[in-house]
Amino acid sequence: MWEEFEDRKAFSMAFFSNGEKYDELVLVKDIPFYSFCEHHILPFYGKAHIGYIPSDGMIGLSKLARIVDHFALGLNIQEDMTCKIANYVNEKLNPLGVAVIIEAEHLCMSMRGVLKPGHRTITSKLLGSFMESEKARAEILQLVGKGSS
């Protein structure tokens, strides 16, 4: 089981020209994932939301889910996983902005220790426009349900 879980399969990225010069948010939300806590070697699982604002190129939407799967494999810390996904998308696409928000339940908190099942830990990494523009940041947070109503 562990060999299967730890195997980071290579995947090819499908890039597309941004011929129409689309410069608004592209968001894939509620991408399910499973990972293992580096500290306790217990699972944590949840969903990831990835948004970006294209510049010259765009990526096939299914590749965003593959990126999440790729970085969820093996032992992780949720904060690190969030940053790795955001930095990878930023490096590969060079977009105007990248936002990654991950929410997860950690079984190390649910079935041991404080015994608080049902909790959600939320981490985010905002780059470019999402860090610089209050409007862009508010839009992504509202669309993933983390902003003010």
Instruction: Show Cβ contacts of residue 20 under 8 Å, excluding neighbours closer than 6 positions.
Output: none
User: Quick check: 79 and 121 in contact, CB under 8 A?
Assistant: no
Question: Residue 39 catalytic?
Answer: yes
Which of 69, 61, 140 shows the shortest CA–CA distance to 99?
140
- Is 78 tagged catalytic? yes
Q: CA–CA separation, 122 vs 132, rounded Å?
A: 21
Catalytic residue among 6, 24, 39, 79: 39
Tell me which of 3, 4, 70, 78 is the catalytic residue. Answer: 78
Active site residue 83: no
**What six digits make up the tokens of 11?**
């995947």
Active site residue 119: no
Catalytic one among 40, 70, 83, 105?
Answer: 40
- Catalytic residue, chosen from 6, 20, 38, 132, is 38
Catalytic residue among 70, 83, 105, 108: 108
Active site annotation includes 105? no
Just list the catalytic residues: 37-40, 78, 106, 108
